[in-house]
Amino acid sequence: MYLRNLSEELIVEFISRSLLSKPGHGEYLFYPEDARDLLPRAPRILLSMDAYSISSLKLPWRDYSDIGWSSLSGAISDIVAKGGIPHACMIALGLPHTFKQEELEALIRGFREASEYYNVRVLGGDTNSTSDGWIAISTIGFTTARTPPSRSGLKVGDYIIVSGIYGAMGYVAKEGIEKSSGVDWVVKYTKRPLVKIEIGYVIENNYKYISASMDVSDGLSYTLYTMSKLSNCGIVLETPPLVPSELYEHCKGDEECLLEYSLHGGEEYGIVLGVKPEYKNLVQKDLEYFNIPYKVIGKAITKQGLYFHGKELPIYRYDQFRGWSLLTTSLP
């Protein structure tokens, strides 16, 4: 059964029934309304919009539920990086007529599972017919931070703290899809990227001590490069970020090998924080309180560029626009 055999109303009805969050206390509007009402949960609103072509999220070991999950993870990550707690989202879909009913069901299940896991409500959305499937997700979150950290606030001397576990998507980029599909740990880490919502709390609680923050969606080297470039400084790495134990074995602990894989991935959705040196311990204490995997990987320096053991590192970018597997070199 393909979507072209179903009416738009049936499709929208199905999505709404299985996905939409009911009005909460003090809220009134619900499906089939075109807008939803909600009350602020914290003094400051954070708003973001993320869109994907469905094919760019495809990996052989991802089914449509994994694609739904991955797209929602990417969307909320933008809010978390700015010290917000993602509260709700709207999802617009462009689906081909040839999309199968069970594919739609899997996609919606992925959204729902992510929505429940992250405690992010799906309030509504829109469905369109297209020849080339796409997903657009708008997320609203709230933060108590008086000044949410930007990407560009890094100061020389700041510690670079990186949350999350790196290297699996870098393995895919380096070794190729075919080889990667046979490697269990690579498949496990890239099938459904995980965002640690709790980092949002850490950032809003410590906004005065966090000079800069950005999530890792297009590869760790690109995030480090962007933050340092916008902040007019450089970064020296002293150690690789956290990696899966399997990558550590694969690299036999060699740091250059670990960096090679962990810098050039994508969709890890960890957060890179620039932390004022005098408050490093406070931020670390909070990260540990929330059980967030992290590592202090280096420091901001005056000289522009990204360095390890005195050597300048090349910058790669994981580019959604050009397809998931294509890496482009753009030396700083």
Structure tokens at 96: 């081909």
By C-beta, is 102 or 126 nearer to a copy of itself?
A: 126
CB 244 to a copy of itself: min, Å: 26
Q: Quick one: which segment of 62-70, 77-85, 182-190, 302-310 binds a copy of itself (CB under 8 A)?
A: 77-85
- 318, 173 in Cβ contact below 8 A? yes
What would the two tokens of residue 3 be?
Answer: 């979507």
| Residue in 304, 197, 202, 313 with CA at minimum distance from that of residue 264 | 313
* 126 binding a copy of itself? (CB under 8 A): yes
Give residues 293-332 in contact with a copy of itself (rule: CB under 8 A): 319-322
* Dihedrals phi, psi of 296, to nearest 5 degrees: -85, 110
Contacts made by residues 300-303, CB under 8 angstroms, sequence distance 24+: 300/154, 300/155, 300/156, 300/157, 300/158, 300/160, 300/228, 300/231, 300/233, 300/234, 300/235, 300/274, 301/156, 301/233, 301/234, 301/235, 301/236, 302/156, 302/233, 302/234, 303/234
* Minimum CB distance to a copy of itself, residue 142 (Å): 10
Total chain residues near a copy of itself (CB under 8 A): 64
- 92 contacts a copy of itself (rule: CB under 8 A): yes
Among 16, 101, 138, 144, contact with a copy of itself (rule: CB under 8 A)? 138
Question: 153: Cβ–Cβ under 8 A, 6 or more apart, which residues?
Answer: 211, 212, 231, 274
User: And the tokens for 329?
Assistant: 């070199």
User: Applying CB under 8 A, does 245 fall inside the site for a copy of itself?
Assistant: no
Q: Does 35 bind a copy of itself (CB under 8 A)?
A: yes
Q: Contacting a copy of itself (CB under 8 A), which of 53, 101, 181, 284?
A: 53
Q: Which is nearer to a copy of itself, 123 or 251 (CB)?
A: 123
Which residues of this protein are in contact with a copy of itself, per CB under 8 A? 8, 28-30, 32-40, 43-53, 56, 78-79, 81-82, 84, 88, 90-94, 123-132, 134, 136, 138-141, 143, 147-148, 150-151, 215, 226, 230, 319-322
